[in-house]
């Protein structure tokens, strides 16, 4: 059983905590928080945009730490699961690997390419793994699409369109600050950038048009160019000013012999789903039955991949720190393209 210490008890720390309660692959043994109430188990103030609200939890079986410096020296932990605010990821991850711990880090790995490279270089120098919790490839329709694309059942992936759009998230402090949260591309579109990188490899150039808000791209439409000219990828992502669009995401994935299609849209009175379909070249419309899941299920699967990676010494592709780094790099290239109104080589 892989022994884990949770670094940071905010919304994502709470979701990870719930996932560990269901995991048969990894055990949560400790957590760190500067908040004395949270160290005592009072997590009732935690709220997020999915999943249940925080609760009073029993911490009697968990070691608690007031700071990261003490936690990284705990010899009974194999992995540190970093759920801190994004601007704190680099320092925490480097301290972890330098003290012999593998890293399982919530997205984004870093707020820029250089910070991601610092983490990956430190991990390599210390013989540790960096795994990034990019949960999208573990969510039902996306997990199915990734599996089918890798299997070759309908031929290779040849294109697609991806979208991820919300109203301005006023509930997230510093959302548009490039040095703290990163803005809409780094915080939101990074999911689709990572999925594109996972399925198609690294694009050689991006061309994005949209609007800036200060130093970050607020919303954009993007084209991704690959060495293989037959691959055609586009994406739309970011935040829009009119309220009333809580969240929408979806994709069309084009394979040589099929199209996969899925979309979800959230509204103030609930959500609606266009379920995953496989449209074959013979005219069939297949509706795959996906495993039953709730808001925490994908995180349980993600933890299983993390534990298997530590046991084997080889990072599972969906968690690969290099792919997560490349996703951040793509987001920043897209942002540069919007700002400069020109194509940008990656």
- The model's pLDDT over 291-309, given as tens digits with 9 standing for 90+, comes to 999 999 999 999 999 999 9
Is residue 235 within 8 A of residue 196, CB to CB? The reply is: yes
- The model's pLDDT over 210-257, given as tens digits with 9 standing for 90+, comes to 999 999 999 999 999 999 999 999 999 999 987 777 899 999 999 999
Return the structure tokens found at 275: 């379920």
Higher model confidence: residue 3 or residue 243?
3
DSSP H/E element including 226: none
How far is 226 from 205, CA to CA, in rounded Å? 7
Nearest to 170 by CA among 49, 77, 73: 49
Return the structure tokens found at 346: 């990656």
Tell me the average pLDDT of the chain: 96
Q: Which long-range contacts (CB under 8 A, 24 or more apart) does 221-228 make?
A: 222/334, 222/337, 224/196, 224/200, 224/330, 225/343, 226/200, 226/201
Q: Which of 50-54, 152-156, 215-219, 247-251 has the lowest mean pLDDT?
A: 50-54
Is residue 255 within 8 A of residue 152, CB to CB? The reply is: no
How far is 57 from 40, CA to CA, in rounded Å? 8
For residue 286, the tally of other CB atoms under 10 A from its CB is 11
Tell me, what's the pLDDT at 172? 84
For residue 177, the tally of other CB atoms under 10 A from its CB is 16
How far is 288 from 141, CA to CA, in rounded Å? 9
- Which domains, and CATH codes, for the chain? 2-133 (3.40.50.720), 136-293+313-345 (3.30.360.10)
Higher model confidence: residue 205 or residue 170?
205
Whether the model pTM is above 0.85: yes
């Amino acid at each position: 059983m892989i022994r884990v210490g949770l670094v940071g008890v905010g919304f994502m720390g709470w979701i990870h905590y719930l996932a560990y309660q269901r995991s048969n692959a990894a055990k949560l043994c400790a957590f760190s928080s500067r908040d004395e109430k949270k160290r005592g188990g009072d997590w009732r103030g935690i709220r997020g945009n999915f999943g249940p609200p925080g609760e009073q939890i029993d911490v009697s079986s968990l070691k608690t730490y007031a700071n990261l410096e003490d936690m990284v020296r705990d010899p009974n932990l194999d992995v540190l699961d970093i759920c801190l605010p994004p601007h704190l990821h680099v320092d925490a991850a480097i301290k972890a690997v330098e003290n012999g711990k593998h890293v399982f880090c919530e997205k984004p790995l870093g707020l820029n390419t250089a910070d991601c490279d610092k983490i990956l270089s430190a991990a390599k120098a210390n013989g540790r793994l960096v795994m990034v919790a990019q949960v999208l490839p573990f969510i039902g329709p996306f997990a199915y699409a990734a599996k089918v694309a890798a299997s070759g059942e309908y031929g290779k992936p040849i294109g697609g369109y991806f979208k991820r759009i919300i109203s301005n998230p006023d509930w997230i402090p510093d959302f548009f600050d490039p040095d703290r949260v990163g803005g809409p591309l780094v915080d939101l579109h990074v999911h689709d950038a990572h999925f594109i990188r996972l399925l198609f490899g690294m694009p050689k150039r991006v061309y994005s048009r949209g609007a800036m808000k200060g130093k970050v791209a607020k919303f954009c439409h993007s084209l991704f160019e690959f060495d293989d000219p037959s691959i055609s990828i586009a994406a739309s992502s970011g935040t829009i000013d009119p309220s009333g669009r809580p969240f929408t995401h979806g994709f069309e994935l084009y394979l040589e012999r099929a199209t996969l299609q899925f979309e979800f849209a959230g509204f103030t009175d609930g959500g609606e789903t266009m379920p995953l379909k496989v449209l074959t070249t013979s005219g069939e419309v297949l509706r795959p039955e996906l495993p039953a899941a709730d808001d925490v299920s994908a995180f349980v699967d993600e933890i299983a991949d993390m534990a298997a990676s530590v046991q084997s010494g080889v990072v599972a592709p969906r968690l690969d720190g290099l792919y997560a780094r490349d996703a951040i790099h793509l987001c920043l290239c897209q942002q540069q393209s919007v700002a400069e109104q020109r194509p940008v080589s990656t």
